[in-house]
Chains A and B, each alone.
Chain A
Amino acid sequence: MSETSIGVPTETAVARTTTLTIEALQAIREHGAETFPYECCGALIEHEGVIVEAFKMENTTSGGAARRFRIGPDGYRLADKRARDIGGSLVGFYHSHPNEPARPSAYDLEHAWPNLTYVIISVRAGVPEDITVWHLRDDRSGFDKGELKWPTGS
């Protein structure tokens, strides 16, 4: 089983790097702990190649928020507006996996959009742990794992 992808393994995947600010990283971790044992979700807003904001969103799933998240069309428009308001662009979304590893599920794959950045945080017993980033392959056959970086100190 491949650690770097779900679905059909790929040989050519060159890990894409996603950079986010330490504040955005902290916001995702705190949001995951806050909504535990339910899934949190939010939008990733980029400015000049760096994710500068993790914008908290309401999980509007009707399928049980312990295992599912959903951001509806109104939510998507809101996130898009937020991105434009702060002079950035909407590049992806994050969500948590309560008591599960930070790997995309089959359900994530089935619902994924291309060209978006998906960040997943694993939260176990209320404590945020691994955080990973994923990109849907263009043929929808699976996700490729990316590399997540945040500049520390200065």
Chain B
Amino acid sequence: MAHRVLIPTPLRPYTGQKDAVEVDGGTVGEVLSSLTTSYADLRRHLYADDGKLRHFVNVYVNDDDIRYLERDATKLKDGDVISIVPSVAGGAPVTSASDATELTNAEVQRYSRHLILPEVGVDGQKKLKAGSVLCIGAGGLGSPAALYLAAAGVGRIGIVDFDAVDSSNLQRQILHGTPDVGRSKLQSAKDRLSALNPEVRVETFETRLTSANALDLFRGYDVILDGTDNFATRYLVNDACVLLGIPNAYGSIFRFEGQASVFATKHGPCYRCLYPEPPPPGLVPSCAEGGVLGVLPGVIGTIQATESIKLILGAGSTLVGRLLLYDAWGMRFRELKLRRDPECPVCGDNPTVKQLIDYEEFCGVKPVAAVPGSGVPETTVEELKARMDAQAPFYLLDVREPHEYQIARIPGSTLIPLGQLGSRYGELPPASAGKEIIIHCKSGVRSAKAVNLLKEHGIEAKNLKGGILAWIDRIDPTQAKY
């Protein structure tokens, strides 16, 4: 298949002053190869000594830069036009940062499997050494990501977290071990990463990420790796990255499914281009409520680390403009195309958000009155226990799912999952029975919804504050929390 290749002015002396030539090939790589075979003098100007396309040579198929397609492997259709478009660069004499960063003999040995990859090589490894990534969270995503970044020799790794290690973290947060339970996650992370690679500088920030501190924390890092577990922080990370022009290696997980992308690059989309509005509070359950397959963040977190490394190297095809979807249960990867939204309030052509805002308010999780669970009649686990002990009449309704009921339960409760309550409320005792209805779930969020649902049907009920977790904490510690 012959394709038309447009030749820029500086290269026309090598094509007999022709501004376009016809060359055969099914892919961009094949076309360029036959082009430089027919016009041999082109070769040294298009390709560097290592055989790679010089990085100031841009190749387009119609209007698309092949860096954003499949590079050399980009397949060509009949009628596709290939253009070679120069970038022009230069500058004053300078000792660049990468010249100053030399590799020691020990580093040459440690990173030898990188160094023999022509795509990374000594130059790439120096870039990694001079590079920096800030991980937001040392949890499910941050754990595998930070481990691989440290192993890869990223010179400076920052971590923002304020939690302590809980035994329920260990099923997936592989930075931490059993002896670390109760320790600060940052201390545990720092020990683990330093043991893995003492050359890496680990910077820890024991703080909640807020609109007040995000810009100061992010500044100076090459990549921000978003391992957050809530929408308010995710929008905060996104907006801060856009405002500072720092790419965001994004990942998120829920139950068996994960997503990853790269946001906030110069011409790429941001998280708000994908999700302009946060979901209504409570609609999307957290991992604590919905569960998560422990190995899932291992897959997504390592994808985020991969993207961070390519961003530092300035090479490879990153997930800019693509949302990668992973289904661990069906074992399938899918990909969605993303485009920067010119109307985006943060990264659009006429941005309206020019500084960080109140993200809890934006996500509707503030003021307190909007939190599900507040404003409904409540009772405490201590009052419930007192009623049981006094054998006072009441009806305890559990609105969790059957598999949760199997893990732990409050004695005497009746299970009707929240999703079935709308059709099964007739099973509840009538008001004439004189039994007060008390509803519980895991932590009190779903049961508050149940109280409101019953109210719509004219049934009065009370929410058990803190749910079965409070019951286990304060009344029956023999049962396991989940």
- Interface residues in chain A, defined as those with a beta carbon under 8 Å from any beta carbon in chain B: 39, 41, 61-63, 66-73, 75-77, 80, 89-91, 93, 95, 97-100, 104-108, 111-116, 118, 138-140
Contact = CB atoms under 8 A, between A and B. Distances in A.
A100 B10 contact: no
B177 to A, nearest CB: 40
Contacts of A70: 87-89
A68 B93 contact: no
A8 to B, nearest CB: 15
B89 A76 contact: no
A100 B90 CA distance: 13
Contact of A73 (B11, B58, B92): B58
B294 interface: no
Contacts of A69: 89-91
A113 B88 contact: yes
Given A73-B60, A76-B85, A140-B44, A107 B13 contact: no
B142 to A, nearest CB: 27
Given A76-B86, A105-B91, A111-B89, 14 more contacts: A61-B91, A63-B91, A68-B89, A73-B58, A89-B9, A95-B90, A98-B92, A105-B90, A111-B88, A112-B90, A115-B9, A115-B10, A139-B44, A140-B44
A108 B91 contact: yes
6 contacts: A68-B91, A72-B87, A73-B58, A89-B9, A104-B90, A111-B89
Given A76-B8, A77-B85, A140-B45, A114 B90 contact: no
Nearest to A6: B93
Contact of A114 (B45, B58, B85, B91): B45
Interface string B68-90: 00000000000000000111111
Contacts of A99: 92
Contacts of B10: 113-116
A102 B314 CA distance: 30
B482 interface: no
B180 interface: no
B contact patch SS: mixed
B94 interface: yes
Contacts of B12: 115
**Which of B89, B93, B96 has most A Cβ within 10 Å?**
B89
Interface of B: 8-13, 41, 44-45, 56, 58, 60, 65, 85-94, 96, 266
A80 to B, nearest CB: 8
B95 to A, nearest CB: 10
Nearest to A113: B10
B6 to A, nearest CB: 11
Given A73-B86, A111-B89, A140-B44, A105 B60 contact: no
B45 A93 contact: no
A18 B306 CA distance: 49
B87 to A, nearest CB: 5
A139 B45 CA distance: 9
**What are the 9 tightest A-B residue pairs by CB atom distance, in nearest-first order?**
A68-B91, A108-B90, A73-B85, A100-B92, A73-B58, A105-B93, A111-B89, A113-B10, A97-B92
A18 to B, nearest CB: 15
A80 B9 CA distance: 9
B92 A39 contact: yes
Contact of A39 (B13, B58, B87, B91): B91
A113 B91 CA distance: 14
A106 B11 CA distance: 21
Contacts of A80: 8-9
B44 A107 contact: no
A116 to B, nearest CB: 5
Contacts of A115: 9-13
Contacts of B41: 138
Given A76-B8, A114-B45, A115-B13, A107 B60 contact: no
Nearest to A72: B87
Given A115-B10, A115-B13, A105 B88 contact: no
A105 B92 contact: yes
Contact of B94 (A67, A75, A93): A67
